[in-house]
Structure 1
Amino acid sequence: MKQRILIFTGGRLGDWATKLVQPQDYLIGADSGALFLVRNGFTPDIAIGDFDSVTEDELAEIRIHSKELIDCDPIDKDFTDTEMAFRRALEQQPAEISLIGALGTRFDHSLANVHLLSLALEQGISATIIDEHNQIRLAQGPLTLPLNKGNYAHVSLLPLSQRVTGIYLTGFQYPLSDATLRIGQSLGISNVILGDNGTIQFAEGVLLVIQSKD
């Protein structure tokens, strides 16, 4: 069975993040995300980045407690640390990838990390960004979301392509029938699943699906 890869990055992390790790998971730490893993008793399978967010002593700690460390020059690189980690994960063709700590105070990095999901979509690999308040994924075809009582109860749909057409929603408080979402519209914000699950179908485009909790 193909395994799940969890990528821990340098965004918002906390105790909630450690609870996501299962024994069979393959762990990648990007920059200070690797330090988070090590400090919480985990052994990263790969620690990767320019490590400009950690001290020399912290980098030595990461090196000792990681199975593999990939250190790159902070200036002479084309990708962010998170993208390097994500591309390394894609090379392994896992069953799924979860990005943990990919949202933070830097909106440019957060948005770039959302865009990374398109790389997995192109390869048919399930990928999700998870933090304490959000689960974010991309869809290019039908998607069924189970009811998650009390957690991530709000479901928002935003077009990542210029438009998404032929949208049908069933099992939601606010259904849609043959609707179109265009960039700049907020029609798809804050829906709620009513039954055991909600089904999203659409004809064309790339849809950003965000499950949130307050």
Structure 2
Amino acid sequence: MIVYIVGGGPPEFIPDLKTDKANPDIFWIGVDRGNRYLLDKGITPAVAIGDFDSVTKEELEVYQSSLPNVLKYQTEKDETDMELALQVASQQNPSLIRIFGATGGRLDHMLANLFLLMKPIAAIKNASIEIIDRQNILEVKRPGQYLLEQLPDKQYISFIPFTQTVENLSLVGFKYPLKDRNIFIGSTLCISNELIQRHGTYSFSKGILLVVRSND
């Protein structure tokens, strides 16, 4: 199962998802204003979730009358709408979670969405989790060895510690290789690297790593 979560970030940051709408393996979740984006693209979310404080009363009535499953929460709650969406995503036993509409706009929302990724990565052992916008693909990775393929539209690759320490990080096939190096939160050592061949590998033994693929 693949889960696509579409949040309410600025639509100009969200890739065009129309090519994915016919994929029967995708479970779509709309978060608050993200449901408007999905419906505009002809995509019906399996679950619409949120407090819906960023949509009009008329829009909410449309969601409740036309969508298969609307989960409405009070505005005063401990969890953010995106956190609630990730809880629903985790119940689908996914192999991959892709989050859209989580960047741009309010910086506090973007940071909250980023740090939320620590929760499902602990709870969903076999799922890859990505935040995607038009310029970036961000993945959260557990210890292991991984293969990366060159992406023509995402030339730059950065490796950022998401825990206090990431141990024994090695990069093979990169412009700036690395061998069994410990890197610490706040380090800029592995920012803006590039693959020098079609494929490369990275590996590490302890910690959580953010892998960011970007273009200018």
Which residue identity does 2:17 align to in structure 1? T
Alpha carbons of structure 1 residues 20 and 4: separation in structure 2 relative to 1, 3 Å: farther
Specify every segment of 5 or more residues in structure 2 that has no aligned partner in the other structure, as ranges.
none
Q: Deviations over 1:51-87 (max 9, x none)?
A: 0000001112222332110111101x11111110111
The 8 Å contact of residues 139 and 211 in structure 2, kept in 1 or not, is answered as yes
CA positional deviation for 1:185: 1.5
Q: Deviations over 1:18-37 (max 9, x none)?
A: 24624211110000001111
State how far apart, in whole Å, the 2-side matches of 1:118 and 1:199 are: 23
The 8 Å contact of residues 128 and 141 in structure 2, kept in 1 or not, is answered as no
Given the two structures, how large is their TM-score scaled by the length of structure 2?
0.92
The 8 Å contact of residues 18 and 41 in structure 2, kept in 1 or not, is answered as no
Q: Aligned to 1:208, which of 204, 207, 210?
A: 210
What residue in structure 2 maps to residue 136 of structure 1?
Answer: 138
Given the two structures, how large is their TM-score scaled by the length of structure 1?
0.93
1:148 corresponds to 2:147: no
What residue in structure 1 maps to residue 44 of structure 2?
Answer: 43
CA positional deviation for 1:159: 0.5
Pairing of 1:26-41 with structure 2 (within 5 A): 26-41=27-42
Q: CA RMSD in A?
A: 1.4
State how far apart, in whole Å, the 2-side matches of 1:111 and 1:200 are: 25
State how far apart, in whole Å, the 2-side matches of 1:22 and 1:38 are: 11
The 8 Å contact of residues 5 and 96 in structure 1, kept in 2 or not, is answered as yes
Alpha carbons of structure 1 residues 93 and 54: separation in structure 2 relative to 1, 3 Å: same
Q: How many residues align?
A: 210
State how far apart, in whole Å, the 2-side matches of 1:140 and 1:18 are: 28
Query: Which 4+ stretches in 1 moved above 4 angstroms?
Result: none
CA positional deviation for 1:207: 0.8
Tell me, what secondary structure is at the counterpart of 2:20?
Answer: coil
1:17 corresponds to 2:19: no
Pairing of 1:1-214 with structure 2 (within 5 A): 3-14=1-12, 16-19=15-18, 21-23=20-22, 24=24, 25-75=26-76, 77-122=77-122, 123-124=124-125, 125-141=127-143, 142-149=145-152, 151-214=153-216
Specify every segment of 5 or more residues in structure 1 that has no aligned partner in the other structure, as ranges.
none
